[in-house]
Amino acid sequence: MGKRSVVPFGPQHPVLPEPIHLDLVIEDEKIIEAIPSIGFVHRGLESLVTKRTYKEMTYVVERTCGICSFMHGMAYCEAVEEVMNVEVPDRGKYLRTIWAELSRMHSHLLWLGLLADGFGFESLFYQCWRLRESVLDVLELTTGGRCIFSVNKIGGVLKDLDEDMTKAILQTVDKVEKELEAIKKTFLFDYSVESRLKGVGVLTKQQAHDLGCAGPFARGSGIKMDMRMRGYDAYKDLDFEPIVSEDGDGYARCYVRTMEIFQSIDIIRQAIAKLPAGEFGVDVKGLPKGEAFVRVEQPRGEAVYYVKANGTQYLDRMRVRTPTFANLPGLVETLKGAQFADVPLLILAIDPCISCTER
């Protein structure tokens, strides 16, 4: 048995642009224990509800996270809509679905790039981000923002898609599908990639359940859970199956996210084919009173929104449980017994977003 020592990891680290700090207790090269601590970027966004009106909050909530921004806004709007009994027009629901899936695509491409960077495959990283760029371009064309769209409003969406734009979206997803098909081989079958991912950071199905994991991290461990199955927005009319892998290692998480990009492409095509005509947003009058829980599937996993309104312009409480918050205990578990060199890779495996965790 070697001598134990403690290595502080983060909040600044070359491979990890996320402000999380871990105290790693290591024995030779093996990790015995990891103690997480957060709190470097706490902004107190939740308490802003008492100072901003419930409609203004849509824009504040969107800025919780820079990557799953759209789905934060969407979940918040859905929670308020549930409180106020507002029915969003069908076209609005479909547009939300299309933009949500486009954000999932760009988020997963970003993650694949970071993963490649994490195991030292620089050119693969560039390829992923090049593809992501074309998704961002079409998002800027359709919404006006690359990452933060600001198209949500309570009662629907603010902007419509015209003929040219749906065409542009379809062209982009076709292009991404074709080029991702080539890169996919490297992620899923390459010898050097496999040797870095296979058998690293194994989390069994039981462990993942006992630690309350969510999203692709849980699906990589064999839990068939995808909040989209609840059929919110247009998902009730679209055909898809949650992507699950049984292995529970780094490779399984990579597989789940890669395949989810293809799944998103498929969902976008279905949604555009079925896109109904008509209104895309309704004006909402009156003040909310009541409470609602809403769960949506973000690229990183399940997000829980809770809204409590008291009949004034200002909400009593808004609560955001982000997927990373649920995945941190799972992360600590995977680190135990891992090699020191695999730490950045394992932290990346949950696709951490500490800024939205702390809000």
Q: Looking at residues 238 to 257 of the shown chain, list those that interact with other proteins (rule: CB under 8 A).
A: 238-241
- Decide if residue 234 touches other proteins (CB under 8 A): no
CA–CA separation, 94 and 89 (whole Å): 9
- Which span (1-9, 96-104, 206-214, 341-349) binds other proteins, by CB under 8 A? 206-214
Whole-number minimum distance, CB 325 to other proteins, in Å? 6
Whole-number minimum distance, CB 264 to other proteins, in Å? 15
Contact yes or no for 353/300 (Cβ under 8 A): yes
Interface map 41-80 toward other proteins (x if CB under 8 A): -x-x-xx--x-xx-xxx-xx-xx-----------------
- Decide if residue 175 touches other proteins (CB under 8 A): no
Q: Which of 15, 170, 202, 225 binds other proteins (CB under 8 A)?
A: 225
Other Cβ atoms within 10 Å of 167 Cβ, number = 12
Q: Which secondary-structure segment (H or E) carries 45?
A: none
**Which residues have a Cβ under 8 Å from the Cβ of 40 and sit 6 or more positions away?**
11, 19, 20, 21, 354, 358
Q: Is the peptide bond before 288 cis (omega within 30 degrees of 0)?
A: no
Interface map 89-128 toward other proteins (x if CB under 8 A): ----------------------------------xx--x-
- Decide if residue 317 touches other proteins (CB under 8 A): yes
**Looking at this protein, which amino acid is placed at residue 11?**
P
Whole-number minimum distance, CB 46 to other proteins, in Å? 7
- Residue 237 burial (C-beta neighbours within 10 Å; 0-12, 13-18, 19+): middle
Rg (CA), the chain: 20
Q: Which of 33, 194, 266, 279 binds other proteins (CB under 8 A)?
A: 194
Whole-number minimum distance, CB 117 to other proteins, in Å? 15
Whole-number minimum distance, CB 3 to other proteins, in Å? 25
Whole-number minimum distance, CB 148 to other proteins, in Å? 8
**Residue 302 — φ and ψ, nearest 5°?**
-75, 130
- Decide if residue 37 touches other proteins (CB under 8 A): yes
Contact yes or no for 89/279 (Cβ under 8 A): yes
CA–CA separation, 9 and 341 (whole Å): 12
- Decide if residue 145 touches other proteins (CB under 8 A): yes
